[in-house]
Amino acid sequence: MQIGEALDAYALQLHADGRSKHTVGQVRRHVSVLARWADRVGHTGEIEALGHTDLAQFLVSPEARTRPDGKPKKATSTNALRSSLKTFLGYLHAAGMIPTNPGRLIRRAHTGEPPPKAMTERDQSKLLQILAGAKTPGGRRDRVLFELMLRTGIRLGSALALRGDDVDLEAQEIRLRHTKGDREQIVYLNRSIADLLAGFIESRSGSLFVGPTGAQITPRHIQRRLHEWLDRAGIARAYSPHSLRHSFAVRLLQKTGNIRLVQQALGHRSIASTSVYVTPSGDSVRKAVALA
């Protein structure tokens, strides 16, 4: 069986297991890199002929270590590649497609987790100020979307899936039907964002955030729109829509000091996912050392 055929079988299993299209897409990209390497070095490309030494040679190759522009990949990227290969080959062995698992010796490199990239309070204020002056339908949509994400911490995918009947303005809450792990989640709104939504929703029962023709908008389009607003606000740092979620988490933790509350608000299954926000600032460390 060729690597590509084995990849198709694994992708089918991932779909059957309810894994997200992003997960499936990432695995396809990673295993395809392995297939290209095999073709370049003259390997047969047969999955049964792939040994752990072949995998080690691949993982130190330019295909695995460098980006398309020739620059070295980040350690987190190469770790993601290792994880994809390990689970892919583990599946093939468990499914009886290969007699032994050549990925059993793959280990992730030890790396420090990068801190969440949250917006500074100053940059948040500048962004909200420029959004408040939006006049066009697209601009008003962007204002509601970005402020909703900043005030509730919901993910972009969850926000774009919202419909009018998911919002209960009287109870000041929204129901997220599209979440990571496909678990419904209730998110609470403060008064200001509830009032902003009230003026935006009107009688909408379909998708809340759509394009000029009423068609669904893509995350990539929203990312471009955010960059445009950041430029208009004179914000030099490169933030992503996910930075709005991080900003909410950092602000909520600073105000409450309750990591369990933040975990609940973000919809994290594990407290370990939330603990990345518990990073003392330089000023906090300086004061603590001064008292020691």
CA distance 226 to 231: 9
Per-residue model confidence (pLDDT) at position 98: 94
Measured CA to CA, the distance from residue 92 to residue 105 in angstroms comes to 15
What stretches of 17-155 show up as alpha helix (H) in DSSP?
21-41, 52-59, 62-65, 75-94, 121-132, 137-152
Cα–Cα dist 234/132, whole Å: 15
Output 271 or 84, whichever has higher pLDDT. Answer: 84
CA atoms within 13 A on the CB side of 117: 8
Other Cβ atoms less than 10 A from the Cβ of 220: the count is 8
From residue 231, how far is each of 21, 127, 227, 236 by CA, in Å?
Answer: 31, 9, 6, 7
Give 115's pLDDT tier (boundaries 50, 70, 90): low
Residue 2, phi then psi, degrees to nearest 5: -75, 155
Residue 114, pLDDT > 70, answer: no
Average pLDDT value for residue range 216-240: 93
Name, in order, each residue with C-beta under 8 angstroms of 43's C-beta and a sequence gap of 6 or more. Answer: 37, 49, 50, 54
Is residue 91 a contact partner of residue 13, using CB atoms and an 8 Å limit? yes
Q: Name the least confident of 183-187, 199-203, 222-226, 283-287.
A: 283-287
Query: What confidence tier does 125 reach under pLDDT thresholds 50, 70, 90?
Result: very high
pLDDT band at 280 (very low <50, low <70, confident <90, very high): low
Q: Is the pLDDT of residue 246 over 80?
A: yes
Say what the pLDDT of residue 278 is.
76
Per-residue pLDDT at 113 exceeds 80? no
Q: Is 187 helix (H, G, I), strand (E, B) or coil?
A: strand
Question: Is residue 187 a contact partner of residue 200, using CB atoms and an 8 Å limit?
Answer: no
For residue 270, the model assigns a pLDDT of 83
| Residue listed under structure tokens 């929204």 | 174
pLDDT at 180: 76
Q: 25-73: per-residue pLDDT in tens?
A: 999 999 999 999 999 999 999 999 999 999 999 999 999 999 888 899 8
| Listed residue (123, 132, 140, 133) closest to 244, CA to CA | 123
* pLDDT value for 43: 92
Q: Write out pLDDT tens, residues 6-16.
A: 999 999 999 99
Q: Are 20 and 161 in contact (CB under 8 A)?
A: no
What number of H helices and E strands is found in the chain?
14, 3
Q: How far apart are CA 41 and CA 37, in angstroms?
A: 6
Q: What is the pLDDT of residue 112?
A: 61
Out of 17-21, 54-58, 126-130, 278-282, which region has the weakest mean confidence (pLDDT)?
A: 278-282
Give the pLDDT confidence of 87-106 residue by residue, as tens digits. 999 999 999 999 999 999 99
User: Considering the chain, what is the average pLDDT of its residues?
Assistant: 89
Compute how many other C-beta atoms are within 10 angstroms of the C-beta atom of residue 259: 17
Structural contact between residues 209 and 162, judged by C-beta atoms closer than 8 angstroms: yes
Using CA atoms, how far residue 276 sits from 26, 67, 112, 250, in Å, is 24, 27, 11, 10
Q: What pLDDT was estimated at residue 109?
A: 83
**Model confidence at 245: pLDDT above 80:** yes
User: Tens digits of per-residue pLDDT, 178-202?
Assistant: 887 677 889 999 999 999 999 898 7
Average pLDDT over residues 266-270: 86
Tokens at residue 65, please? 């270590």
Whose structure tokens read 């911490």?
A: 153
